[in-house]
Amino acid sequence: MKPLVIIGITAGILAGLWTQFSTPLGLITWVGFLSWACFFAAGGKRAGLLKTIPANLSGVLWGAIILWAAPNLPVPGALGISVAIAAFAMCVQARWSVLGFIPGAFAGCAAYFGTSFDAAGTSLALIAGACLGWLSEYTAGLFATGKKDPTPAPAADTQAVA
Task: Quote the pLDDT of residue 159.
Answer: 47
Cβ partners under 8 Å of residue 12, min gap 6: none
Q: Whole-prediction pTM value?
A: 0.87
Rg (CA), the chain: 17
What's the DSSP call for residue 158? G
What's the DSSP call for residue 75? S
Task: Quote the pLDDT of residue 152.
Answer: 54
Burial of 68 (0-12, 13-18, 19+ CB in 10 A): exposed
Q: For residues 107 and 14, give the distance between their C-alpha atoms in angstroms, rounded to a whole number.
A: 21
Tell me, what amino acid is at 26?
A: G
Task: Quote the pLDDT of residue 1.
Answer: 84
Residues of the chain short of pLDDT 70, as ranges, are: 147-162
Task: Quote the pLDDT of residue 148.
Answer: 53
